[in-house]
Chain A
Amino acid sequence: GESVGLHLPTLSVQEGDNSIINCAYSNSASDYFIWYKQESGKGPQFIIDIRSNMDKRQGQRVTVLLNKTVKHLSLQIAATQPGDSAVYFCAEMGMNTGFQKLVFGTGTRLLVSP
């Protein structure tokens, strides 16, 4: 079945460092991936997405890398700030019953120390 997992449950970094959050997925047919950020008491917030015809996409301070060969996704955050502290989820779009059902990983908590 479909599954999306994360290698590290908690990542602690110093302010200003670059952060890398990793994600593995198992459904090779998935063609769309999203990273969400979830702060305490709030719903997930979209960060960046990538389609399977790309291997890299950049946003503001964030970069998503997709390696379809090993089914691996990563989120890179440059110059990490205390406000980046949150739980980060990768999600995979499964083409189930003709609609885009998000399959989420369990999340990685990012802790940024000042």
Chain B
Amino acid sequence: GAGVSQSPSNKVTEKGKDVELRCDPISGHTALYWYRQSLGQGLEFLIYFQGNSAPDKSGLPSDRFSAERTGGSVSTLTIQRTQQEDSAVYLCASSRDQTYNEQFFGPGTRLTVL
């Protein structure tokens, strides 16, 4: 496909469990971003990857959150010991590079922590 894809589309988990969310960016895009969107809210930046540079993790809310990007392409966002306040839609976006370029968003993963 030509767009950003994310999986799963929905994830329901129990409090305390770990979850992994996947993002496949647009082929050739070197920049990848993760955002979190709580119900009725705007998007909160989480983490940014650019090429082989060290990621900018300044938006991660706690050390339970981590992300990896393998081979400069697919990224996985991991949330350990999930809490109810982690419930949100997690959105991934990619752009051609880190300059002023449009960010293309995936459809998101809706995470519900019971």
B100 and A102 within 8 A (CB): no
A82 CB, min distance to chain B CBs, angstroms: 22
Chain A, interface size category, equals 20 to 34
The prevalent SS among residues of A at the interface is: strand
A45 to chain B, nearest CB (A): 7
Count of CB-CB pairs between chains A and B under 8 Å: 60
Q: Which residue of chain B has its CB nearest to the CB of A103?
A: B45
B-side contacts of A104, CB under 8 Å: 35, 42-44
The answer, among B4, B41, B45, B50, for a CB contact under 8 Å with A106, is: B41
A residues near B44, Cβ cutoff 8 Å: 104
Give 1 or 0 for each of A86-114: 1 = CB within 8 Å of chain B CB: 00010101001101111111110000000
Verify B104–A46 contact, CB threshold 8 A.
yes
Complex alpha-carbon distance, A1 and B104, angstroms: 26
- Chain B residues closer than 8 Å to A46, beta-carbon distance: 102-104
* Contacting residue for A42 out of B35, B104, B107, CB 8 A: B107
List of B residues within 8 angstroms of A32 by Cβ: 100
Cβ contact of B42, chosen from A34, A93, A100, A105, cutoff 8 A: A105
If the complex has contacts A43-B4, A49-B102, A105-B42, are A99 and B107 also in contact, measured as CB distance less than 8 A? no
Chain B contacts for A51, CB-based, 8 A: 100
A window 26-49: CB within 8 A of B: 32, 34, 36, 41-46, 49
A99, B98: Cβ atoms closer than 8 Å: yes
Q: Using an 8 Å CB-CB cutoff, how does the interface string of B42-84 with A read, 1 for contact, 0 for none?
A: 1111001010000010110000000000000000000000000
Q: Are A43 and B107 in contact (CB under 8 A)?
A: yes
A1-39 Cβ-contact flags toward B at 8 Å (1 or 0): 000100000000000000000000000000010101000
User: Would you call A101 and B102 a contact (CB within 8 A)?
Assistant: no
CB neighbors of A among B96-113 (8 A): 98-100, 102-108
Residues of B participating in the A interface, judged by any CB pair closer than 8 Å: 4, 31, 33, 35, 40-45, 48, 50, 56, 58-59, 91, 93, 98-100, 102-108
Closest 10 CB pairs of A and B: A43-B105, A104-B42, A104-B43, A106-B42, A46-B102, A44-B105, A99-B98, A43-B107, A43-B106, A101-B45
